[in-house]
């Protein structure tokens, strides 16, 4: 390692040390009755880290979901919530998504819902949709995951308004067991894991987040 690389490595490590301090500070904020501020900053950090982890993809919501599912360390976040699929897809183009959303509701009528893997979710819908509808659904299935619920129901309201502190899933189970709510505790673990992956990438080849082009993008 030459002198330029050593100096660059110092800058990289200093950045990640400061990021660790900011992430740890969120716990203090939350404990000092600043729960909304802690949650909002946590979601903003997740959003930022996600864009770097998924570079050069420019889809903010999709990157948010993809990063959490891939590196967040919480296996539930990549599972599909059928009710979320019904609701989120209805918000898209009615002509295309209305019939698809209706078919999902027919296959998964509720009122209680079981989290399901994306593969199993698609498999149960395959025979009820046209080939074109199935292809369309597969490309947008990320919108139906728990990670997407975090984006739409926590990240967006927290950034654009005061938002909610926690989401409850009282009518949702996984393998027959109730799942915990989603709030600061769950998301703080995720943001730490995302940052660890960014730091690992930075150290692997002494480039920012694994590719210097990211910081110049």
Residues 86-110 pLDDT 10s: 998 888 888 889 999 999 999 999 8
Sorting pLDDT into bands at 50, 70 and 90, what band is 111? Answer: confident
Going from N- to C-terminal start, the domains of the chain cover 3-73+184-216, 82-144
pTM over 0.85: yes
pLDDT value at 28 more than 90: yes
Question: 40 with 186: CB under 8 angstroms?
Answer: no
User: Percentage of the chain surpassing pLDDT 70?
Assistant: 99
Q: Where would I find the H helices in 32-174? A: 35-53, 60-71, 82-90, 94-107, 118-125, 131-139, 146-150, 156-160
pLDDT one-digit tens code per residue, 49-58: 999 999 999 8
Angle at CA 169, nearest 5°, toward 79 and 193? 50
Q: List pLDDT tens digits, range 125-157.
A: 999 999 999 999 999 999 999 999 999 999 998
């Amino acid at each position: 390692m030459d002198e330029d690389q050593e100096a660059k490595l110092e800058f990289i490590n200093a950045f990640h040390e400061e990021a660790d301090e900011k992430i740890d500070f969120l716990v203090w904020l939350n404990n000092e009755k600043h729960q909304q501020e802690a949650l909002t900053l946590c979601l903003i950090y997740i959003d930022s880290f996600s864009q770097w982890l998924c570079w050069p993809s420019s889809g903010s919501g999709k990157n948010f979901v993809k990063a959490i599912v891939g590196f967040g360390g919480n296996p539930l976040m990549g599972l599909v919530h059928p009710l979320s699929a019904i609701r989120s897809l209805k918000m898209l183009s009615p002509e295309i998504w209305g019939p698809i959303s209706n078919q999902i509701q027919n296959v998964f009528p509720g009122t209680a819902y079981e989290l399901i893997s994306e593969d199993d979710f698609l498999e149960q819908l395959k025979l009820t949709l046209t080939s074109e509808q199935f292809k369309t659904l597969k490309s947008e299935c990320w919108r139906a995951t728990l990670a997407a619920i975090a984006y739409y129901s926590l990240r967006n309201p927290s950034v654009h308004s005061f938002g909610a502190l926690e989401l409850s899933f009282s009518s949702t189970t996984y393998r027959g067991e109730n799942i915990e709510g989603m709030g600061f505790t769950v998301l703080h673990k995720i943001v730490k894991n995302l940052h660890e992956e960014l730091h690992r990438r930075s150290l692997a080849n002494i480039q920012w987040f694994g590719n210097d082009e990211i910081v110049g993008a």
